[in-house]
Every structure is written in structure tokens, then in C-alpha cells.
Structure 1
Amino acid sequence: MFRSRRSLSVRQLWKRRCTPSSRGQGEGAPCIPEDLHNALRPAVHQLFKKLKDEQLWKLSEAVESHGRWDCGCILLPWEIRSGKLSPQVLVCRLYRWPDLRYPSELKSLSHCQNFWKRSAEGASVCCNPYHFSRLATPEVITSPVYKRREAAWPDPSKVPLTEEESIRYNARGLYDTTLSRGSIQNGHWCKLAYWEHRTRVGSLYSVTEPSVHIFYDLPKASGFCLGFLGSEPRNEIVRRTRKKIGQGVVLSHEQGEVWVYNCSEHPIFINSHTLAFATTRGQAVHKLPPGFSIKVFDGEKAAELSERSKLADGPCDLHSVRISFAKGWGACYSRQFITSCPCWLEILLSTTK
């Protein structure tokens, strides 16, 4: 029997519901119960009826690709609701986070048309589930205090160092992983450095746009592609970890704040002084699950911290953020320092913007 393109699209969308994840907290965990899934059916089909054929196929492509390519916004009038749930909550609950309850748990991504709009200003709402991230309260893993960092770096009296490594020892003999702040020029809100263990791979990547995508291999994407950076020979651990970067992360600069969205299939681990609790000594390492976002830099908090003398022992740069892909470090791991992580990113924020 002949079926219309629209009916096929609706059937496909309904079948592609959220599936359980083996990676714990994050997208698809916990699995949506069958009875709850069936309870959503009337609201879902009511929403599908309000979408045009082109919008249905956009939604189908977004769900099928899991956000690997951007299919554009799927806009509906702001006042439209499907039952008790707003459209964005309904689609995100069905395809990404079954335990999602409120719109306040979501954050629009920078490539969505509604990103810069307040809800009162918007005449429409986007129903693309991959135009949203979920706000996180990440797990914190405390690392050793900064004084112990010097053991992780080579002794300059015993190991020949490159010119770049030599200039990065400060007057106290401690190795500071932050590159020279003088390299941040006007017009760049940050520069990115990619590391494999203790080796920086490739050149610094300057960021002038409000947001940047850092990824390993992603079709139809632009930004900082780590897959193009060469470093030979690589050990097996580095090669395996690089492949786990996948869709990577998105950084966005928003009015003195910097947000990180984890769009990979694995957790990332973050160290930022403006993320640390006031009582935290040493480094606080935050675990961010897939699909979640968090504010990794707060300009106001950085200014407040710079006026205090209660920072961790040793050199400290409030305008530097470090992210390790897939592998954590700290007290709970065999890797005590980020330089033991196979693949990690250093974000050097400009102090002039």
C-alpha cells in the first residue's frame, strides 16, 4: 500500500525514541519507561501535525545523525504547546533526555536562531533537539595541590628543553602550562592549544568569532579540527582517545562568560579556577557528561578572585581553562596531572577584551 512521505517520516520519528546509554549519566540515561513513552504519544503526534513536511524531514535528519550535521532550526509559534509540555521540552525528552522536566534545564546553542533572544522577545521556538544543551551540575574531582605539580614536569637541570619549554619555567622553578599572555592579541577573545600528554601538537588557534567548534572528525563542520593535526609517532592510548573526541566541544563567549558544550559521546573533564568552590584547595576537576553544558569562565568572579590572596599555592592563571577528552585526572585516577592525559585542550582567554 502506498504511504505518503509525511506518514513515513512520522513513523520513523516515532520509532527513533531515546535509547539507553551504557555510559551512565548523559544522553539516553535513564531509558524512558515504556508506559511513560506511550503517555507521550498523543502530545508527540499533536506536535508532528503542527510541523510542515520540510520541518518533519529536518527533524528526522537531526535525530538520525544525532546532531552530526546541522539541519537548521525547526520553528513553531511560541504560544504553541503539546499538552502540558512546551515543544522544545517534548522533543528533547523524547530523543535525548527522558528525565527532562522544565525549559529552564535547557540552554540554546549558539547556532540556533533563538540563542540571542529572550523568551519574551521570541515569536517562535525551535524544536530541533540538537539545538539545545542541558545545564549541568558536574561531578567534582579534587586534584593534588599545586605544589605537587612540579614533579610532573621535567627537571631543567637534567632534561634538555626546547626554547618554548625553557621560557615557561617561572622564577620559582615551577612549570606553568599557560602560554605567554603576550601572545593574545587584540581581536581574539581566546587562543586554543591542543596537547597530547606533555607535547603541544600544532600551532595556536586564534578565535575571533563568538563561538568555535573543536572536533576530531565531523562532516559539514567548521572550526578547530584536531584530526588534521599531525604528531608522529603516537602511542596506542593517544590514538584511541583521539577517536573518542568525535564531535568534540563547542566554546561560546557570552558577555564576559565562556560556556562549554560537550557534544561528544564521552565525558570531558574541566579545570577552571572560576568553577572551583571557594573552599577548594588545589585543582578542582569537573566531569561533564555528553549533551551537557556549563559556564567555565565568569569574568566577574575572576575579577573578584584576582583581588584575593587565597588562591592555590604556586603559579595560577585565572584566564586559563583546561579540558581533557574522555580521560579524567586527579585524586580518583591514576593520572594525577593533566599532562598524563592523552588528549587535552588549553583555552587561553584574552585579558584585553
Structure 2
Amino acid sequence: MAQTAVLEGVQGKSNLSFVLNKPFDVSFEEKPLPAPPGPYDVILAINYTGICGSDVHYWVHGAIGSFVLKAPMVLGHESAGTVVSLGSAVKSLKLGDKVALEPGTPCRHCEPCLSGHYNLCNEMRFAATPPFDGTLAGFYLAPEDFCYKLPEHVSLQEGALIEPLAVAVHIVKQAAITPGQSVVVMGAGPVGLLCCAVAKCYGASKIVSVDIQPSRLEFAASYTSTHTFMPARVSAEENAANLIKECGLGEGADAVIDASGAEPSIQTSIHVVRRGGHYVQGGMGKSDITFPIMAFCAKEITARGSFRYGSGDYKLAVELVATGKIDVKALITGTVKFEEAEEAFKAVKEGKGIKVLIAGPNEK
């Protein structure tokens, strides 16, 4: 039965894939079709994939920290697709279902997995993280329980943005935001903007978006931010003082989220957060930075890192979109054909637009 579904679902279709060979060297290759699914697996026809900053980083540098490209790898991990094949034991999905794909599969047996923190699994198989291929392909094999069915009124394009929204959900959970609090988000890229949107859902009454690009701040103001701030070429302490004054933050923000990874933003963040407040590092940048440790200690700040997403984050992200609490469509700058993927990567690298989607190779 599963074998028949595979043949019916992929017959005559392309598994054209966007492959990174080395920095700035990509190619389109027709890959073998996925093997028949295991009992609890499904095969998805990938409809749309968003370009993430990490994809661009691999394309430019060939590595992120200890994850180093050593062999050609298919890029992409922000995807939505349609179920075209089912394993024999799959019960929650059926052929033709639209799903948002959570692109990492943990081991399910280690202590982090068993304690509900599977994003910290040391054996995680994450799409487009060396050595594992990503989702910029015609088809992708995934576990049933990491595919989230989209309601009929939620489009596949919106489904591709569930991944960055789940990242934002996890970050905001780490920030422990409660109703009436003030939140400052450093960086107005897709994740930063979505952090602002999630913070609003959690009841934040003052949401400040910080960026160095006027166009992104303009968008943030029209999206969910109550205030915006553009840093000047001054010290972190001075920028922090100006931000606090201009945005009426009193002694500082209840929570500060860095979604940029930029050293000046991180330094400014520590000076912006109030005494006893929360700070979350969501953006990734240089491995080592100069950090204002005296201010950090004197304020007794609670600081947390944030890595991808964990239990319940994808489910909540789908619900926030399905109920209309967060509009992810507004972030979509445009959609390009699969064959134009490299040009789309170049545009994202140059900071053009907010979120660019790449249609799957079988989307016509």
C-alpha cells in the first residue's frame, strides 16, 4: 500500500534539487526520489520554501560554527508541502494534506529529548545543516509527527513561514514576557519582526523594534511595533540611553531580545534591559564578542540563549496564524520559480525585501 502510494504520488514528477557544492558554488541536480516511507513517515511534495539567514550563511561561508560543509548539500529548511505518500502506521495525515514541515528530527531517546528539550539533541538530523540535505527539492521524507497539518484557510505560502514563526515563539517563551510588559527587539529581519508579533500576542504593551535600515523600521511600525529606534554611531551606553528616553522605557525594558547577532546590538541590549529584567540571545553572529559583564552583573539580569524550537512551538505557531492573531503573509516579499533560486539568494544577501519564497520544482 505504501509502495503504491509512492508510485502514484511521485510518478512523472521532478526531484530537482538546489545543491550547495562550496561557497558561492551551487547547482541544480536531479536527485533520486525518496525511498518508500517507513511505517510512521510521509513523503511531501515541497510546494514553497523560504530563504533563511542560515541558508545564506552556508552559501557565503560554507559553515556556521562547528557545522562545516564537507560535501555537496541540498539547501533549504523553511518549507511547506503536500502529503503524497504515507507509511502504513500513519494516522494523523492523509494523502493531499497541506502541512508545515518541522525540519529537524531528534533521536527521541537522549535526556534532552526525554525531558522535552529535543532541540538540544546531540543527534539532531536538521535539514540543510551538514551533512544532512535540505528541502529545496521536489520531494522530502519526514516523520509524521514533525508535519503539522494546515487548516484549509491557511495557504502553503503561509505554511512556509511557520518555521521562522516557531523560532520567534521559542525566543519569546525564553523571554518570559507577561501582559503589560515592555519589550525591545534588536533586528527587524523576519525573526525579529515575528518576535514583535508574538510578544504582542503574549500581552506586551510596548514593543520597540531596532534596526539600522529605515525601510525595515518603517515596515515594523506598520506591522506590530509600537515604537522604532535607529542606532547612531555612538557608544552602546549612549545608544541605550537614547533608546530608553525616546521610547519612554523608564529604567529600561522588561525584556530585550537580540535577533541580529551583531555585537553592537548585544552590547546595547544589556544597557537597555532594566534591573532584574530578561535578556534573550536569538541571533547568531561571531563566536566571541566583547560583552558588558559589569552591567550584566550589577543589574542581575536573567539571560538565556535560544536555539531553534522545542515542544509545542510549532503547534502554537500554526494556531497563531490559523486564528489570525499573526499575519505572516505581510512578510512575504515575493515568490520566485525554483530555477531562479540563486538569484533569490543574492537578493536576500543584499537585504532586499523581508521574506522571499522559492516555489518547488513541480509548482507550475
TM norm structure 2 = 0.24
Larger Rg: 1
Greater fraction helix: 2
TM norm structure 1 = 0.25
